[in-house]
Structure 1
Amino acid sequence: MGRSCNTNVRDVVENGDANTSSYKYPQRYLGQARSIRIVMVGAGVTGIAAVKLYKDTFPDREVEFLIYEKNHDITGTWLENRYPGCACDVPAHAYSYSWEGNPRWSRAYVGATELYDYYKRRASQYGVEEFVRLNHRITAINWDDKSGKWTIDVTDLKTGTSIKDEAEIFINGAGFLNNWRWPDIAGLHDFKGKLLHSANWDDSYEFQNKTVAIIGSGSSAIQIVPQLQPVVSHMTSINRSKTWITPEFAAEFAPEGRTAFFSEIQKDNWERNKDEYLQYRKRIESSMNNFFSMQFKDSELQKTVFENFSKTMKERLGHNEDLIKKLVPDFEVGCRRITPGHGYLEALASHNVTVRTDPIAGVTAEGLKMADGSVIAVDAIICATGFDTSYRPSFPVVAFGKDLRDLWQDEPKSYFSIAAAGLPNYFIMSGPNFPLANGCLIPCLENNIKYAYATAKKIQYDGIKCLWPKQEAVDDYQEYKDSLMDDLVWTGSCSSWYKNGKRDGKVWGPWSGSSLHYLEVMSKPRWEDYEIRYLSRNRYDFLGNGRTRLEIEGGDLAYYIREPGATLV
């Protein structure tokens, strides 16, 4: 059994450990992998990709792999979010896996149901069902330093029984917008009408001719409002913060916006002409990756979009001065999440909508009680108030007596978004300062998986028991990140979930650079940034008996010989 990950090998040698002089090389060859197990939580878009990349990376399945998913089905976000108007903000052709597109998307900006269907089909093709345990919720993980494994507590939600599992590596793929929450408003659950949350929608409720209050002005509310406004008798929109409502992302590829559908002829052509379709995908992806200069506060592009978006918002509000004062931001474009709100401003300017920006004092049985003492009586209250954005895991993650939830109580200090100091063999998909607003998202999620698997291979082949980012590496990255953020819009004069709802807090949301910057930085691990502990007291134990896999299993023993012009491989 290997030594504790806290044991300093040099101290052991200097203090004359009894085994120091009796070391014996192992009877195995160089390159002989040890068996390890990876457990992941979350079978959303990232989890589905993780199965596909697992098969690519470990074709001989020398590594075991399992995903626990709390829901009854896969796809995560696109299973859970089904509120009216729920759709992807970016063009669908930029919301596919990098290794294969979908030439048969129905339109430029697709809805939740079509996204669910697409990723469900991908999962079937990749054989995801073999690696996923549905209706299983992870309740805690604890690092067992003696065995060099995570012990994992799981609840089978169908039977209520508790399960114990273990793995050398744990991947947290639960997502950064997964744990929805009710707003902290006094008396909220005293309301006698229909209370809904955008992330826990009830399709059975009928809104026709109802009076409705919707709390929130983020992306969910922006999609819900134009869907419900035409059918309700009256809507009160509580806009606690201003939001930049922008044109569609990569709109040059879909001038008709949300109404842009692809013909069957176009879809058939893309399916037949792979090169043409690839070029189309690359053009959209390039467009999405080509706006980072806007994120600098003093850039010319930032000044231009500020003027343009202000102008278009005012026009869409019908130049209503009261609404302009309430809704058009004066802070930097992108300081809060920008959202292409198709029909949103027009809905807020409609005859049956009232926009309120004053504080809510509480909720009564009849509706909302405002700070000025007035009561807004309604049939239904919709809370489009988002998620827990603290980045603290939803279950205990304990190593060496410390819980990550406590370590990140005040600020989630990650290493390049993917790991945390003191957490052995623990990887976070889309963790703090992941590029969620920096360009294209999906390739960065894929990159996180590849990074974790590269580390798994090192653990497999190099005799490593555990590793984690050095504290000084985390501190240096945080210092760099905070310095660059000073010049970016995310530290601007707004309150934002990027700063955990604060106006002047540190930025926990986006990466400190473009998506392309992130992909290049994360293309391979910087092992010099890691604290590494080995299975043996001798770090070179993995060298084995002096022979290689080629010699033992057979193969080309002169693989390094080349001859110009020769066709022999």
Structure 2
Amino acid sequence: MPASDPTDQATPDAQPEQRHSHVLIIGGGMAGMAAAIKLKQQFGIDDWHLYDNREDFGGTWEAVRYPGCGSDVPGMWYSLSTDLNPNWTQSYPVQEENRAYLHGVAAKRGLRDHATFSALVQSLVWDDESKMWTVSAHDIHTGRQYRHTARLVLMAIGGLVLPQWPSINFEAFAGPCMHTAEWDPAVEVAGKRVVVIGNGSSGAQLVPALLAAGATVTQIVHSAHWMVPRALDKGLYKVYQAVLRRSTLLMTALRWVMAGVVDLQFPRFTTASGARGERARQQAEATAEAYMRSQAPERYHDILVPKFRIGCKRTIFDNGYLASLHDPNVVLVRDDVVEVTADAVVTKTATYPADVIAVATGFNYYNLYARIDIRGRDGSISLEERWSRDGMYAYETTMVDGYPNLFFLGGPNHATGHFSVICTIENVLLYVAAVAERVLRGTATTIEVAPGAYAQWCETIASALKDTVFSTPFGGCTSWYVYGGHNSTAYPWSQVTFWRRMTHPQWAELLLDGRPMTAPARRRWAWVGAGAVAAAVVCALLV
């Protein structure tokens, strides 16, 4: 069942502890950790603090622990560029290994000395007189309150944390009922009848693990998903183990090559690529369909194979799910749940007995900031209220006008259907380091996006998204990418474009201490060197 709101545990009458730091980071996952490392490495800043409502660093990998949970991006690429890991034990690391890696980075970098855990942030309020943010937070266990002021705030709240519960009443069920985002490892599933609701990435990882643990599984799904094999599961990982992991330079080069090769897939996500994109889509769909039909039982083909374009929903990298459907202890049905009783899940057409219910319906991306009252220069309206009214957007995925010195890492429209989110976040940090440099160094007090530039960005990205497959009429599906008529999830251009925009800010669209910015002298010709590097990478990929 849905967990209680931890904000109810605050102690309203307690005097808050007063704190201050030059920079405040909210969120202790990969984005928050990357930001902390960036502050130290590039600017020598030790005057920073971090709040996270979990017990330690790790973000999604600290919070989400369902059986079979793991990365669907190769570990060789799914790691911080500052802390490459030569010791991955498998090409697609499981939750425990990802968590251990991040804990190791935190220990190595001394990040815990700057962090407060089990702390839920309730509000951020901008004071235009002091040019400071005031952040209110409290300990979710003790109710202890914190009042923290900071010049600059980095929002590093990950999107894969809050569970998305379906509109079903589970209260009558007598047994354990868990969302994959809030899994209780103490629940025994061996010999139990487990009904799994949902078949996205978490559902596809969960089912084989439940079967391996001795459960009998009924999976109830609402729609299909495109699935492809984990292409790097064997060959490249063997090369990585034998050769590449022995050299940081070789591991870095591998990441660049992987990024370039993967981004060549982007044309299939947009109609702007014309006939080339259509050929890429048709080829990708044909390849995926052939794989799915070759792996899954024939009786499930009509349930599994989608009718929409590949990329409209997030593509699933198969970890053995399709093959597991041959197991006699699993049944797959496409139906709608209408009721949950004390010992069963009732659909429109049948009743399925259950000892345990596992809800694998994804994450609630659009309510990430609903519990945080963020108020900028116009204190009469919160950011959540503004986004609900106008659509959830952020300039260059990271800034909102009227909210000075506030940057989102992994903000609206940062996600792609084909790339590593860590690379995306590190590119955003390149942008933050460039445009906020003077504020970080203390030679300026505010940096923000001009209102006109923000409005133009919102129009441009909304228009560009209409020409993509991401939950559009052209894509042919509906998905969590879109909420309230706005797609605030997907990025409509390639990651080469994203990198270029992050490393080449539109300075005139930004305000430093209220005045339009100009490019720093040392950056005006930086595009020459960057262009040469990009050209070399492209040439290497084409040879």
Q: Secondary structure of 2:317's match?
A: coil
Deviation, structure 1 residue 87: 1.0
Distance in 1, matches of 2:442 and 2:55, equals: 38
Structure 2 partner of 1:412: 392
Structure 2 partner of 1:299: 278
Which amino acid letter does the alignment assign opposite residue 335 of structure 1? C
Deviation, structure 1 residue 495: 1.3
Contact 1:43–1:74 (Cα < 8 Å) also in 2: yes
Structure 2 partner of 1:5: none
Contact 2:297–2:325 (Cα < 8 Å) also in 1: no
Match of 1:312 among 264, 287, 291: 291
Q: What TM-score comes out, normalization by structure 2 length?
A: 0.83
Deviation, structure 1 residue 327: 1.6
Cα shift readout 1:297-322 (whole Å, capped 9, x = no counterpart): 552111101111112212222322xx
- The yes-or-no answer on 1:442 pairing with 2:419 is no
Q: Secondary structure of 1:92's match?
A: coil
**1:328-407 mapped onto 2 (5 Å cutoff):** 328-372=305-349, 374-390=350-366, 392-393=368-369, 394-399=371-376, 400=378, 401-407=380-386
**1:149-164 mapped onto 2 (5 Å cutoff):** 149-164=132-147
- The yes-or-no answer on 1:123 pairing with 2:106 is yes
- The yes-or-no answer on 1:96 pairing with 2:79 is yes
Identify if the C-alpha distance between structure 1 residues 539 and 438 changes in structure 2 by more than 3 Å, giving closer, same or farther. closer
Q: Secondary structure of 1:175's match?
A: coil
Cα shift readout 1:3-40 (whole Å, capped 9, x = no counterpart): xxxxxxxxxxxxxxxxxxxxxxxxxxxxxxxx971111
Q: How many residues align?
A: 486
Cα shift readout 1:141-179 (whole Å, capped 9, x = no counterpart): 111122211111110234311111111211110112222
Which amino acid letter does the alignment assign opposite residue 38 of structure 2? L
Identify if the C-alpha distance between structure 1 residues 539 and 330 changes in structure 2 by more than 3 Å, giving closer, same or farther. closer
Q: Secondary structure of 2:397's match?
A: coil
Identical columns (%): 27
Deviation, structure 1 residue 485: 2.1
Distance in 1, matches of 2:382 and 2:183, equals: 33
Q: What TM-score comes out, normalization by structure 1 length?
A: 0.80
Match of 2:124 among 141, 164, 171: 141
Which amino acid letter does the alignment assign opposite residue 256 of structure 2? K
- Give the helix-richer structure, 1 or 2: 2
Which amino acid letter does the alignment assign opposite residue 237 of structure 1? Q
Which amino acid letter does the alignment assign opposite residue 389 of structure 1? Y
Cα shift readout 1:89-108 (whole Å, capped 9, x = no counterpart): 11110112224422221121
Match of 1:50 among 32, 35, 44: 35
- Structure with bigger gyration radius: 1
Cα shift readout 1:381-424 (whole Å, capped 9, x = no counterpart): 00111221216513110122210111111520221210112222
Contact 1:438–1:510 (Cα < 8 Å) also in 2: no
Contact 2:387–2:393 (Cα < 8 Å) also in 1: yes
Deviation, structure 1 residue 458: 2.5
Structure 2 partner of 1:563: none
Higher RCO, Cα 8 Å, sep 6+:
1
Identify if the C-alpha distance between structure 1 residues 427 and 83 changes in structure 2 by more than 3 Å, giving closer, same or farther. same
Deviation, structure 1 residue 370: 1.8
Distance in 2, matches of 1:236 and 1:369, equals: 12
**1:124-523 mapped onto 2 (5 Å cutoff):** 124-185=107-168, 187-232=169-214, 234-248=216-230, 251=231, 253-255=232-234, 262=238, 267=241, 269-297=243-271, 298-320=277-299, 323-372=300-349, 374-390=350-366, 392-393=368-369, 394-399=371-376, 400=378, 401-410=380-389, 411-459=391-439, 464-490=444-470, 491=472, 492-500=475-483, 505-523=485-503
Deviation, structure 1 residue 230: 4.2
Identify if the C-alpha distance between structure 1 residues 524 and 325 changes in structure 2 by more than 3 Å, giving closer, same or farther. same
Contact 1:295–1:334 (Cα < 8 Å) also in 2: yes
Deviation, structure 1 residue 464: 4.2
Deviation, structure 1 residue 66: 0.7
Gaps of 5+ in 1: 1-34, 541-569
Deviation, structure 1 residue 439: 2.1
